[in-house]
Chains A and B, each alone.
Chain A
Amino acid sequence: EAQVTQNPRYLITVTGKKLTVTCSQNMNHEYMSWYRQDPGLGLRQIYYSMNVEVTDKGDVPEGYKVSRKEKRNFPLILESPSPNQTSLYFCASSPPDHSPLHFGNGTRLTVT
């Protein structure tokens, strides 16, 4: 089954404790990206990658890191999480054409 898999689905952590949210897709898509969803703001792009070893900042990159060492994986790293990073996070992938984005099921992160 074609899918984008994120883990974990839920994560509660404390300020400053490094964490990684994993994302993997099995559709051989070139493009992968991370979004965060906050009430009243819709979804906003954090980082994106157009291919292996090619990553760039989206609209809200502060406090996040990413890497793309393999085509299928695109982890999101929070080196020192803060409460304002409490949000619902989505990983998405697509081919480089007019196709819709395929989203993972989301990771609900709470930073206390």
Chain B
Amino acid sequence: AQKITQTQPGMFVQEKEAVTLDCTYDTSDPSYGLFWYKQPSSGEMIFLIYQGSYDQQNATEGRYSLNFQKARKSANLVISASQLGDSAMYFCAMRDWGLTGGGNKLTFGTGTQLKVEL
């Protein structure tokens, strides 16, 4: 069964510093995708970044990058130059492309609450 583990319930970072949010995953399917979503206090789910299991390069989207270490089954999110608006809950999620059904189901971690301080 798929499993996503986020071991940091809460993190603090100073404005303009970089921060790494940890995510480890477990799946027996060799073909899968890893996603990070941001949930601000207003509640909506905002897609940030995607990494496919066969992608050779680590994904990057602006200030977001994904440190993908396949052998260690980790997919950490790195936010560079943190801003006050980055304060939010961050979820790591996984979807495998195997025959497990679920209609493109995402399996989510429990989230990390990030607070950016002045």
Q: Which A residues have a C-beta under 8 Å from some C-beta of B?
A: 31-33, 40-45, 48-50, 56, 58, 88, 90, 92, 94, 96, 98, 100-103, 105-106, 108
Contacts and interface: CB of A to CB of B under 8 A. Distances in A.
A73 B108 CA distance: 24
A31 B91 contact: no
Interface of B: 4, 33, 35, 37, 43-45, 47, 50, 52, 91, 93, 95, 97, 101-106, 108-111
Would you call the interface of chain B mostly helix, strand, loop, or mixed?
loop
B105 A58 contact: yes
Nearest to B50: A100
Contacts of A49: 103
The secondary-structure label for the interface of chain A is strand
A103 B104 contact: no
B110 A42 contact: yes
A31 B105 CA distance: 9
